[in-house]
Amino acid sequence: VTTYVGIDRLFPSSPSGPIDDAALVVEGETITWVGTRADAPADDDRVDLGGGLLTAGLVDAHTHPVYAGHRFAEIAARTAGATYSELAAAGGGINATVRSTRAAAAGELRAAVAERLAAWPAGGATTVEVKTGYHLERDGELAAVQTLHELSGTGGVPELRVTFLGAHAVPPERAGDADGYVDEVASWMSAAAAAGAHSCDVFCDEGYFTVEQSRRVVVAGAAAGLRARIHADELARTGGSRLAADVGAASADHLLCIDAGDAQALAAAGVTAVLCPVTALGMGRVPPVGALRAAGATIALGTDHNPGTSGLTDMSAVIGLAVTALGLSVADALVAATAGGARSLGLGDRGTIAPGRRADLVLWDADHEGAFAWALGLPPRRVWRAGHPLL
């Protein structure tokens, strides 16, 4: 049992609101008491943290970390006017990364992914949603699920929640046969679940999978026990969010092109809206945060780390960008990056600082959450996962 004091401010991500000059008690992996220093129990081991802002461990709700190679030239071309869809049609995009990822030796890819994921705690993330999707054939996709499952919580890697994204794109050798490929992906779902996937995803968008194809993917996933997280209405408004609402998906992600009615449908169906500000900025379009807030939708945030649109691994920067680029308040962005992400992943044991929750905690070099909007990348001083130091 440890009583932590010396906390300038504790942001619990719960309606009870922040506590100044706070204390908390951790027993093993679990938070057992939260309050002011003046009220803290006196009889335990006391550790003075020496000041700072304490939040729940951040949850990155959307990443694509299993890839080899980079596409920097393509990204530069986008800044000079080429569109994401044009570059994909010209042999770039997801399938360019599929070629380099398939070509990587399994051991090298695994080591690169492990090293990559070990960067997340430095941005305050203790739980990270991780997608497959750069193999697009059965064995590679299932091996990616297994690799992620095995890396979870090892060697500085945060806890991972694996999403099977076999339907990220139609692979080059199946060009013109999206329907056939969808049927195949659907047949891999139970093997993906057995290999450690918790969710399935599909890139439901113009040039990728139609709503009808995406529905087949997520229905097959549900039959294998995989909750849906859907890339929806990012490049064009093709109906991905309505599909997410219709099938009761865990999340609908990106949402750059949704309208107010789509936002209401997501909120009414309890689908978490996962927003990825770096990608939104790169695509030159922001999701309608006002409509999502007015509808009462739960919002989560993600780095969307991937080789095509976002190299970020720092969730503290994502909080700052959600404020400056998307227009969330700092408090709402921080709740989205903790409780919102946990909710989207069905993780009721974390995301807030409260008795009974897991001691996933971050001590930040600041005395108020406003610092996130100022720093655009705030360094954590300490990070704990389940009561143990991760950083």
Binding positions for ligand NIG, rule: CB under 6 A:
64, 93-94, 97, 203, 231, 234, 279, 304, 306-309
Looking at the DSSP assignment, which residues form a beta bridge with residue 361? 56, 384
What is the number of the residue whose Cβ is closest to Fe ion? 304
Nearer to ligand NIG, 241 or 309 (CB): 309
Which amino acid appears at position 52 of this protein? G
> ∠ CA(82), CA(84), CA(85), 5° rounding?
100
* Cα(270)–Cα(250) distance, integer angstroms: 8
Nearer to ligand NIG, 8 or 253 (CB): 253
- Closest approach of Cβ 231 to Fe ion, in Å? 5
Looking at the DSSP assignment, which residues form a beta bridge with residue 164? 200
Nearer to ligand NIG, 304 or 360 (CB): 304
How far is the CA of 330 from the CAs of 5, 14, 162, 263, 364, in angstroms? Answer: 24, 14, 28, 21, 15
What part of residues 330-359 is at the interface with Fe ion (CB under 5 A)?
none
Nearer to ligand NIG, 23 or 235 (CB): 235
Nearer to Fe ion, 217 or 361 (CB): 217
- Closest approach of Cβ 206 to ligand NIG, in Å? 11
Question: Which partner from the list ligand NIG, Fe ion, none does 288 bind, CB cut-off 5 to 8 Å by kind?
Answer: none
* Cα(338)–Cα(128) distance, integer angstroms: 11
Looking at the DSSP assignment, which residues form a beta bridge with residue 22? 7, 36
Nearer to ligand NIG, 121 or 133 (CB): 133
What part of residues 295-324 is at the interface with Fe ion (CB under 5 A)?
304
Q: Helix 178-187 and helix 211-223: axis angle, to 10°?
A: 10
Q: How many binding residues for Fe ion (CB under 5 A)? A: 1
- Closest approach of Cβ 157 to ligand NIG, in Å? 21
Determine whether 327 is exposed, middle or buried from the number of CB atoms within 10 Å of its CB (0-12, 13-18, 19+).
Answer: middle
Nearer to ligand NIG, 11 or 203 (CB): 203
- Closest approach of Cβ 73 to ligand NIG, in Å? 13
Gap between the terminal Cα atoms of the chain: 20
Question: Which partner from the list ligand NIG, Fe ion, none does 384 bind, CB cut-off 5 to 8 Å by kind?
Answer: none
Question: Which partner from the list ligand NIG, Fe ion, none does 93 bind, CB cut-off 5 to 8 Å by kind?
Answer: ligand NIG
What is the number of the residue whose Cβ is closest to ligand NIG? 308
- Closest approach of Cβ 180 to ligand NIG, in Å? 21
Smallest Cα–Cα separation from 250: which of 278, 222, 276? 222
Torsion sign, CA atoms 208, 60, 82, 287: positive
Write out the residues near Fe ion by the rule CB under 5 A: 304
